[in-house]
Structure 1
Amino acid sequence: MRLVRVDDAVGQVLGYDTTYVGKDGAMVLLPRGHVITREDVERLKDSGVYFVWVEGDEESSDLMYEWEIAETVARAVAGENTYVRQARQGSAWIMAGANGVLRVDVNGLTELNLSGDVLLITRQGMSGVVKDELVGVVDVIPLSMRRGEVERLLRFRNLVSVVPFRRRRLGVVITGTEIYQGRKRDLYYPVIKARADKYGWEVVFNTIVPDDEDKIMNAVREAIRNGAEAVVITGGMSVDPTDKTPIAVRRLGARVIAYGIPIKPTTMTMVAVLDDTPILAVSAGGIYYSDYNALDILLPRLMADLIPSREEIAAMGHGGLLPNYKPGH
């Protein structure tokens, strides 16, 4: 490629995308491969572009350009249940190939990004994702690199993958004597159902029970008998005398991994496993913070059989103060 003044580029083939950036966002002004016209010259200058790369007569077989580099590296770092889509402006997109949980090799990502030439940018690891969702972007900084330089980056492999959901049948137990007696309307089930619809889970059991240990225990057992592969229990999670959910889960004989999760909101949450069935008991705060809470952080992991350890849950305190938390609630 050759770098020329835009005034001298009329009739030349543009070697890479030129970008317009304004208050309405960023967009491709002229795409790679476009033959530059006299009208384009003024458009380019209006966007602050006075020099452009154009295709030259000689191509170096030892050079790879940004669009080739991005796709090549993306295909190396994209692991199981992902696929790559080429994007503009020296980028490639890594997409989820299945509904599941995103896994990111953070150490590998960090080392790749230290190269300074190619950057891997992903969503937060262990997030729930859906098929065809954007989960990562590979951006190339220079316009071109030597093939040997690119090949050295290809040692970074399978840094981004998706673990598919292995559990898809969900049981829901809503607790609260005031709801059971009809004094208050249940607001929690729609919050859970929205997650189930998003990720392709089926709610196979749903019931409301009072704040009674035996009735909560029986409801969980009935959910499992009806085919639930995981059970969500809502409410009754604090230390008030009428809050019976943690006691009921323990009386079931479930192995409690953690009671009290270092995130806000919905700190008073319990993660347990009854035989082979994960149980997520979530505080009533998930109603007020319905947009994002412990359901979003923990339930996708449980449905993918990525049962967190006590140490992993303890580490959630870093970043556990969620953006939607409002002090005083």
Structure 2
Amino acid sequence: MAEVVLKNIVPVAEAVGMVLPHDITEIVKDTFKGRAFKKGHVIRAEDIDHLRRLGKEHIYVLQLGPDEIHENEAALCLARALAGSGVSYSEEIVEGKVSLKAVVEGVLKVDRDALYRFNCIGEVMCATLHDNTPVKKGEQVAAARLIPLVGERQMVAEAVAIARATFPIVQVMPLPRVKVGLVITGSEVFYGRIEDRFEAVLREKLAQMGSDVSVVGFAPDDVALIAAEIRKCLDAGAELIVTSGGMSVDPDDLTRLGIKAAGAESTVYGTPVLPGAMFLVGRIGGVPILGVPACGMFHKITVLDLVLPRILLGETIDREALAALGHGGLCRNCPQCQYPVCGFGKA
């Protein structure tokens, strides 16, 4: 750690007219935490009692050596190196920290290995939301700072080099709008024995992610007819196909076979996620196809919500990608769902 060169440690009562070298934070339990005095503030006589209430008996006169860097300058250096597309930050540093925020609605992508190496330096830090978290425009996605008031310029340069070597460490990717084909399976729906509720659920999820359902097909529990409806979606120009139901081990559940009969390749069936263990992902040519089990109709959030944004971004979801979801893949089924502000899917 760089040693702060302190010329004159001045009793606070004698500090009127001095300039503060850093922000001073005030914390009132359950009420307030924030900046009480800003860096550069000229201390007035009426500030003395307030400073004492904050535990400040002395004020430092800060002088930096040529190889040292102040926390505010360091924070901006770090932010420039960390923030990729879809992320912005303010030039005004508050309490030594810089906040990185999403400038678009989308999915947060974090280079976790690079972030780990960055944080191993020790005197700099960057905290982020989880990789692959859906975020809104204006939402804070990360924060960074130099931990001491003053650090070594060389150490900050090392952190910047790590961030730039794999730039970006933090970015927000907007979801593209795609044309989606839905295939609702099940003889009970096809023959009108029950009312279908799956279509409305899937339409809403896709609309929330900015995509449009362009074609909907219905098929009974028949492999050939399921495959035919999938091919109709392809012929209609669907860029993503989602099937509903028919994914369990029941002998009447034939959707998986219908998906394969339609020409699906690289299919992966089964995930370590609850709800959503019987989920399927594959491709027909360049078009991804998802098989959503019945739990997708009853649970607000399932494995579909974890995988769908990544599929829309063009990622290939294979067995390894699904296996990684097991850690954090158990939904708590909270009475009031707060997803994505929870641990579900945060592998």
Same fold (TM over 0.5): yes
Q: Is the 2:124–2:156 contact (alpha carbons within 8 Å) kept by the matching residues of 1?
A: no
1:64 and 2:69 equivalent? yes
The residue number in structure 1 matching 2:154 is 148
Please list, as runs of the form range in 1=range in 2, the aligned pairs for 1:64-213 lying within 5 A after superposition: 64-86=69-91, 87-98=93-104, 100-129=106-135, 131-156=137-162, 157=164, 158=167, 159-165=169-175, 168-180=178-190, 184-213=194-223
Q: Supply the AA of the counterpart residue of 1:174.
A: I
Superposed, which structure 2 residues align to 1:223-234 within 5 Å?
A: 223-234=233-244
Corresponding residue of 1:19: 25
Specify the code of the residue in structure 2 equivalent to 1:306: E
CA deviation vs aligned residue, 1:181-209 (integer Å, no higher than 9, x gap) = 55555444454344434432233234554
Alpha carbons of structure 1 residues 44 and 324: separation in structure 2 relative to 1, 3 Å? farther
Q: Would the alpha carbon gap of residues 131 and 225 (structure 1) be closer, same or farther in structure 2, given more than 3 Å must change? A: farther
1:113-142 CA-partner distances (Å, limit 9, x unpaired): 111111122222234445544332213211
Deviation at 1:176, TM superposition (A): 3.7
Matched-pair contact (CA < 8 Å) for 1:64–1:146: yes
Residue identity opposite 2:18 in structure 1: Q
d(CA) in 2 for partners of 1:215 and 1:116?
60
Who is 1:243 aligned against?
A: 253
Deviates more, 1:175-184 or 1:313-322: 175-184
Q: What amino acid does structure 1 have at the position aligned with 2:96?
A: G
Aligned mates of 1:42, 1:183 — CA distance in 2:
77
- Corresponding pairs, count: 323
In structure 2, the gaps of 5 or more residues are: 1-5, 336-347
Structure 1: how far apart are the matches of 2:258 and 2:65?
71
Question: Cα offset for 1:293?
Answer: 1.7
| TM superposition shift of 1:102 | 3.5
Per the alignment, in what secondary structure is the counterpart of residue 310 of structure 2?
Answer: helix
Q: Name the SS of the counterpart of 1:94 in structure 2.
A: strand
Say which SS state the counterpart of residue 155 (structure 1) adopts: helix
| Structure 1 residue aligned with 2:325 | 316
Distance in 1 separating the partners of 2:58 and 2:194: 66
Of 277, 280, 301, 1:270 maps to 280
Match of 1:302 in 2: 311
* Bigger shift: residues 256-265 or 213-222: 213-222
**Structure-2 change in CA distance of 1:289 and 1:38 (3 Å):** farther
Give the C-alpha shift of residue 229 in structure 1: 0.9
Which amino acid is the alignment partner of residue 277 of structure 1?
A: V
- 1:208–1:40 CA distance, 2 compared to 1 (3 A): farther
1:134 partner letter: Q
Q: What residue in structure 2 maps to residue 33 of structure 1?
A: 40
- d(CA) in 2 for partners of 1:260, 1:187: 23
What is the RMSD of the two structures over their aligned residues, measured on CA atoms? 3.1
- How many percent of aligned residue pairs carry the same amino acid? 34
Is contact 2:179-2:239 (8 Å) kept?
Answer: yes
Counterpart in the other structure of 2:342: none
Task: Report the 3-state secondary structure (helix = DSSP H, G, I; strand = E; otherwise coil) of the residue aligned with 2:250.
Answer: coil
**TM-score, normalised on structure 2?**
0.79
- Structure 2 Cα separation of the partners of residues 288 and 26 of structure 1: 41
Q: Counterparts of 1:110 and 1:194 in 2: how far apart (Å)?
A: 37
